[in-house]
Structure 1
Amino acid sequence: MQFDQPNKLDPRKKLGLIAGNGRFPFLLLDAARAHGEEIVVAALKEETDTEMDARAAADPGIRVHWLSLGELSRLIETFQAEGVTRAIMAGQVKHKQIFSSIRPDWRLAKLLLSLRTRNTNMLLGAVAKVLGDEGIELISSTSYLEPMLAKPGTLTVRAPNEQEQLDIVYGREIARMIAAHDIGQTVVIAGQACVAVEAMEGTDAAILRAGLIMKSLEAAASTLDRSLTVIKVAKPKQDLRFDVPVIGVATIHAMREAGATCLALDAGRTLIFDEIGLCRLANESNIAVVASLYPA
Structure 2
Amino acid sequence: MSDRVCIRGCKQRGVHYAACEEQAKVQAASERGDVYVSQCTGCAEKAARDHALICDGCFYRLRTLVRDADDLMGRLRSLADPMKATPTDKAPGGRAQLVEAPAPLDADLADAMDDIAHTLHDWDRHVDPQPLEQALPDLVNDAESVRVLGAGFLDRHDLVDGIRDFWSVQDAVDKWGVERRTKGESAWSPDEFSEEVLGGVPEWGDPLLNREEAEQFAGTARTLQRWRKKGLIEPTGSIYVAGVHTTLYRLSDLSRVRDEMKKRIGRPKTASVVNDGKKTDW
Task: Give the TM interval when normalised to the shorter protein.
Answer: under 0.3
Larger C-alpha radius of gyration, 1 or 2?
2
TM-score normalised by length of structure 2: 0.27
Bigger fraction of residues in strand: 1
